[in-house]
């Protein structure tokens, strides 16, 4: 016992003398919940906006402080993120920590700049940065975006972003884009990042999902809209996809990322009306790529389940087999046409694909070197792509037939 005793004593003494710089009380830390990155005015400087949650607002009754704002927003101009973090300390009393950072907002201007790849590439070196953080590209400078974003329901900003992210899984308007997937696709492949805007320029479209952020006809409420995606190639933003194109690019992937989504179509029986259906995908898409022939041939089969939940034309689809067939066929054709258009656009404008098809193509090769020599992205630009949607009607909603059917028939 005494033998072990003195050893333990020495050990404890060493520990106490050495100490540990890591220990920090919660109240001494400033928890950044979102950062915004913008291009600085001079040279290679960037503007970093920190949105810091105020723990005294809306957290617990004991700590409530009515008059303070829910978040503190600080913008610092510095050469990189880490330097900005340190420099912000000149005005902030608490130590800035990224441990609860879930959202990174990047201004479009910076995203399109050469500098962006270096900025974001070096950001991940900081171990506090988490690879699952969301990446959002905003149309206006990120600083303005963060300032403009004041949701009424979620006073605390982290809640807003967390709920928004949950929302995307159901709408598919926006791709789920985190840093991990971004670093996977920094080469010729296209990476889709969520696109958002706080500036409203409403337009009215026939199709319900062909908007880009800021264009959705919305009156009152929070000015921030998130729809569509920014295309990044080689770590730089090169273009945008609207909501519909984003949905297609998610649908054409092997693995499903959208739990369900609602879309509207012209009714095949009565062209003037539109029909809203809910799609859900339970199986993976089948992707067959033939790399032996030139140009390469890509066959994609997307199985979808469809529920008809709104029926403006009040046609009776439930009883009439022919009508159903007609509907399925028209939806399939429409989807195929739209996706063909999208692929054509990608092949011509960007010469890359955001569908992770390169992973399926890798299957055809024996070694990595052979695949790299093959040059997938070059091949994709010329490939023949054949897309098939296979649609099953799962349900027709809670009415057996439309309510005014009898009147309509006479």
Q: Which of 20, 204, 206, 271 binds another protein (CB under 8 A)?
A: 20
Residue from the set 44, 122, 167, 184 that interacts with another protein by CB under 8 A: 184
273 is a contact residue toward another protein (CB under 8 A): no
Which residue stretch of 179-187, 308-316, 327-335, 338-346 sits at the interface with another protein (rule: CB under 8 A)?
179-187
Q: Is 332 exposed, middle or buried (0-12, 13-18, 19+ CB in 10 A)?
A: middle
130: left (phi over 0), alpha (psi -120 to 50) or beta: beta
Q: Which is nearer to another protein, 31 or 211 (CB)?
A: 31
Q: Is 127 in the site for another protein (CB under 8 A)?
A: yes
Per-residue CA distances from 369 to 366, 372, 373 (Å): 9, 5, 6
The smaller minimum CB distance to another protein, of residues 71 and 328, is found at 71
The closest alpha carbon to 255, from 169, 367, 332, 180, belongs to 169
309-327: buried (b, 16+ CB within 10 Å) or exposed (e) per residue?
Answer: eebebebbbbeeeebeebb
- Residue 218 Cβ, how far from another protein at the closest point, in Å? 28
Residue among 118, 155, 186, 210 that touches another protein (CB under 8 A): 186
Q: State the minimum distance, in angstroms, from the CB of residue 328 to another protein.
A: 30
Q: To the nearest whole angstrom, how small is the minimum distance from the Cβ of residue 311 to another protein?
A: 35
In whole angstroms, the minimum distance from the beta carbon of 238 to another protein comes to: 20
User: Token match 């950001």: residue?
Assistant: 123
70 vs 172 by CB, closer to another protein: 70
End-to-end CA distance of the chain: 100
Candidate residues 39, 85, 156, 274; the one interacting with another protein per rule CB under 8 A: 156
- Give the residue from 211, 198, 100 showing the smallest Cα distance to 144: 198
Among 118, 123, 34, 31, residue whose Cα is nearest residue 75: 34
Instruction: Tell which one of 6, 62, 206, 219 touches another protein (CB under 8 A).
Output: 62
Q: Are 388 and 340 in contact (CB under 8 A)?
A: no
Cα 70 to chain center, whole Å? 25
The CA-CA-CA angle for residues 240, 145, 57, to 5°, reads: 140
Tokens 């299957």 correspond to what residue?
363
Q: In whole angstroms, how close is the CB of 162 to another protein at the nearest point?
A: 8
Task: Tokens for 334, please give them.
Answer: 């429409």
Of residues 112, 158, 247, 281, which one binds another protein by CB under 8 A? 158
Q: Contact between 23 and another protein (CB under 8 A)? A: yes
Within a 10 A sphere around the Cβ of 198, how many other Cβ atoms? 20
For position 63 contacting another protein by CB under 8 A, the verdict is yes
- In whole angstroms, what is the distance from residue 92 CA to residue 394 CA? 56
Q: Does 82 bind another protein (CB under 8 A)?
A: no
Nearer to another protein, 227 or 232 (CB): 232
Residues in contact with another protein by CB under 8 A are 1, 11, 14-16, 18, 20-27, 29, 31, 33, 53, 55-56, 59-60, 62-64, 97, 99-100, 102, 127-128, 130-132, 156, 158-159, 162, 180, 183-184, 186, 254-255, 356, 359-360, 362-363, 365-371
């Amino acid at each position: 016992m005494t033998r072990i005793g003195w050893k333990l004593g020495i050990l404890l003494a060493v520990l106490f003398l050495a100490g540990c710089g890591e220990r920090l009380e919660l109240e001494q830390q400033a928890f950044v919940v979102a950062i915004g990155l913008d291009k600085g005015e001079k040279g290679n400087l960037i503007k970093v906006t920190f949105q810091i949650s105020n723990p005294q607002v809306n957290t617990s009754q004991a700590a409530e402080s009515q008059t303070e704002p829910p978040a503190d927003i600080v913008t610092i101009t510095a050469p990189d993120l880490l330097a900005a973090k340190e420099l912000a300390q000149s005005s902030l009393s608490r130590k800035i920590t990224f441990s609860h950072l879930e959202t990174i907002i990047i201004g479009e201007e910076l995203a399109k700049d050469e500098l962006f790849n270096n900025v974001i590439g070096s950001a991940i070196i900081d171990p506090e940065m988490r690879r699952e953080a969301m990446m959002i590209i905003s149309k206006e400078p990120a600083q303005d975006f963060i300032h403009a974003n004041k949701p009424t329901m979620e006073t605390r900003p982290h809640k807003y972003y967390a709920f928004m992210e949950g929302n995307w899984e159901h709408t598919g308007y926006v791709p789920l884009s985190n840093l991990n997937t971004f670093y996977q696709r920094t080469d010729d492949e296209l990476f889709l990042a969520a696109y958002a805007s706080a500036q409203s320029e409403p337009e009215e479209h026939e199709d319900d999902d062909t908007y880009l952020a800021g264009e959705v006809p919305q009156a009152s409420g929070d000015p921030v809209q998130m729809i569509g995606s920014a295309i990044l190639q080689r770590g730089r933003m090169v273009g945008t996809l609207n909501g519909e194109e984003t949905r297609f690019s998610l649908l054409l992937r092997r693995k499903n990322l959208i739990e369900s989504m609602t879309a509207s179509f012209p009714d095949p029986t009565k062209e003037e009306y539109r029909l809203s259906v809910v799609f859900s995908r339970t199986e993976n898409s089948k992707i067959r790529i033939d790399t032996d022939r030139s140009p390469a041939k890509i066959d994609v089969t997307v199985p979808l389940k469809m529920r008809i939940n709104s029926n403006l034309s009040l046609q009776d689809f439930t009883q009439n087999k022919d009508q159903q067939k007609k509907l399925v066929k028209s939806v399939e054709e429409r989807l195929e046409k739209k996706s063909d258009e999208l692929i054509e656009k990608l092949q011509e404008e960007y010469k890359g694909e955001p569908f992770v098809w390169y992973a399926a193509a890798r299957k055809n090769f024996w070694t990595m070197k052979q695949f790299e020599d093959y040059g997938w992205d070059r091949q994709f630009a010329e490939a023949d792509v054949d897309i098939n949607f296979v649609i099953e009607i799962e349900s027709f909603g809670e009415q057996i037939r439309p309510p005014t059917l009898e009147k309509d028939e006479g």
